Amino acid sequence: MPITKTQQKVDINRRRIINGEDADVIQLYPIKHKFAWDAYLAANANHWLPTEVNMQKDVEQWRSRHILSDDERLALKVVLGFFTTADSIAANNVSMATYKHVTSPEVRMYILRQAYEEAIHTHAYQYIVESLGLDEGEIFNMYREHDSIYNKDSFVLSFNEGIFDPSFKTGTFENDQKFLENLVVFSLIMEGIFFYSSFAVMFGFQRQNKLVGSAEEIQYIMRDESMHLNFGIDLINTIKKEQPELWTPDFQQRVIDLVKKAVVLEYTFAQNVFPRGIFGMNADGFKKYIEHIADRRLIRVGLPLQYESPNPFPWMSEAIDLSKEKNFFETRVIEYKTGGALEW
Ligand code: FE
Q: What is the pLDDT of residues 107-127, one digit of tens each?
A: 999 999 999 999 999 999 999
Once rounded to an integer, what is the mean pLDDT over residues 309-318?
84
Going from the Cα of 228 to the center of ligand 1, the distance in angstroms, rounded, reads 5
Transcribe 126-194 into DSSP letters: HHHHHHHT--HHHHHTHHHHSHHHHHHHHHHHTTTHHHHSTT--S-SHHHHHHHHHHHIIIIIIIIIII
In DSSP terms, 18 is beta-bridged to 102
Q: Which of 125-139, 179-193, 213-227, 274-288 has the lowest mean pLDDT?
A: 274-288
Q: What predicted TM-score, i.e. pTM, was given to this entire model?
A: 0.90
Domain 32-340 is found in CATH 1.10.620.20: yes
pLDDT for 61 equals: 97
Asked whether residue 342 carries a pLDDT value surpassing 60, the answer given is: no
Going from the Cα of 82 to the center of ligand 1, the distance in angstroms, rounded, reads 13
What average pLDDT does the chain have?
89
Q: What percent of the chain has pLDDT over 90?
A: 76
Asked whether residue 203 carries a pLDDT value surpassing 80, the answer given is: yes
Q: Please give the single-letter amino acid code of residue 117.
A: E
Once rounded to an integer, what is the mean pLDDT over residues 35-54?
95
Coil, strand, or helix at residue 253?
Answer: helix
pLDDT for 1 equals: 62
**What dihedral do alpha carbons 32, 185, 82, 196 form, nearest 10°?**
80
Once rounded to an integer, what is the mean pLDDT over residues 147-174?
91
Q: Which of 127-136, 225-234, 329-338 has the lowest mean pLDDT?
A: 329-338
Catalytic site residue from 40, 110, 125, 127: 127
Once rounded to an integer, what is the mean pLDDT over residues 70-90?
94
Between 140 and 318, residue with greater pLDDT: 140
Going from the Cα of 114 to the center of ligand 1, the distance in angstroms, rounded, reads 7
Once rounded to an integer, what is the mean pLDDT over residues 12-36?
89
CA distance 311 to 235: 27
- Tell whether omega for the bond before 30 is within 30 degrees of 0, i.e. cis: yes
Task: Return the beta strands (E) in the chain as ranges.
Answer: none
The reply to whether 127 belongs to the active site is yes
Asked whether residue 326 carries a pLDDT value surpassing 80, the answer given is: no
pLDDT for 319 equals: 66
Between 163 and 65, residue with greater pLDDT: 65
Once rounded to an integer, what is the mean pLDDT over residues 126-153?
96
Once rounded to an integer, what is the mean pLDDT over residues 147-167?
90
pLDDT for 22 equals: 72
344 band by pLDDT with thresholds 50, 70 and 90: very low
Going from the Cα of 117 to the center of ligand 1, the distance in angstroms, rounded, reads 7
Asked whether residue 330 carries a pLDDT value surpassing 80, the answer given is: no
pLDDT per residue as tens digits for the range 84-108: 999 999 999 999 999 999 999 999 9
The answer to whether 182 touches 163, Cβ cutoff 8 Å, is yes
Q: Which of 76-85, 94-103, 329-338 has the lowest mean pLDDT?
A: 329-338
CA distance 341 to 323: 23
Once rounded to an integer, what is the mean pLDDT over residues 243-263?
98
Going from the Cα of 210 to the center of ligand 1, the distance in angstroms, rounded, reads 25
pLDDT for 175 equals: 96
Question: Residue ranges per domain, the chain?
Answer: 32-340
Going from the Cα of 226 to the center of ligand 1, the distance in angstroms, rounded, reads 8
Going from the Cα of 10 to the center of ligand 1, the distance in angstroms, rounded, reads 31
In DSSP terms, 102 is beta-bridged to 18
The answer to whether 236 touches 184, Cβ cutoff 8 Å, is yes
Going from the Cα of 88 to the center of ligand 1, the distance in angstroms, rounded, reads 9
